């Protein structure tokens, strides 16, 4: 599943720390509960794309 927008975007490296519970929680849950992965790509001024992969 891929979701993208052409909004303001954000610095992906800035949300990789332990202080950003929301995105880290989603990644953890999809990984541990669904055997999946979440990939976030974003560029300031150009938008964001989030890809969610589920493995069998």
Over residues 4-54, the pLDDT tens digits come to: 999 999 888 877 777 778 888 999 999 999 999 999 999 999 999 999 999
Q: Where do we find the tokens 């599943």? A: 1
- Residue 55 banded pLDDT, cuts 50, 70, 90: very high
16 in helix, strand or coil?
coil
Q: Does the pLDDT at position 2 exceed 90?
A: yes
User: How is residue 6 annotated by DSSP?
Assistant: -
pTM over 0.85? The answer is no
Residue boundaries of the structural domains of the chain: 2-54
């Amino acid at each position: 599943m891929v979701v993208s927008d052409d909004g303001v975007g954000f610095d992906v490296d800035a949300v990789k720390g332990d202080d950003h519970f929301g995105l880290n929680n989603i990644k953890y849950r999809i990984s541990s509960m669904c055997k999946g992965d979440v990939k976030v790509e974003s560029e300031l001024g150009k938008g964001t794309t989030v890809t969610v992969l589920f493995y069998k």
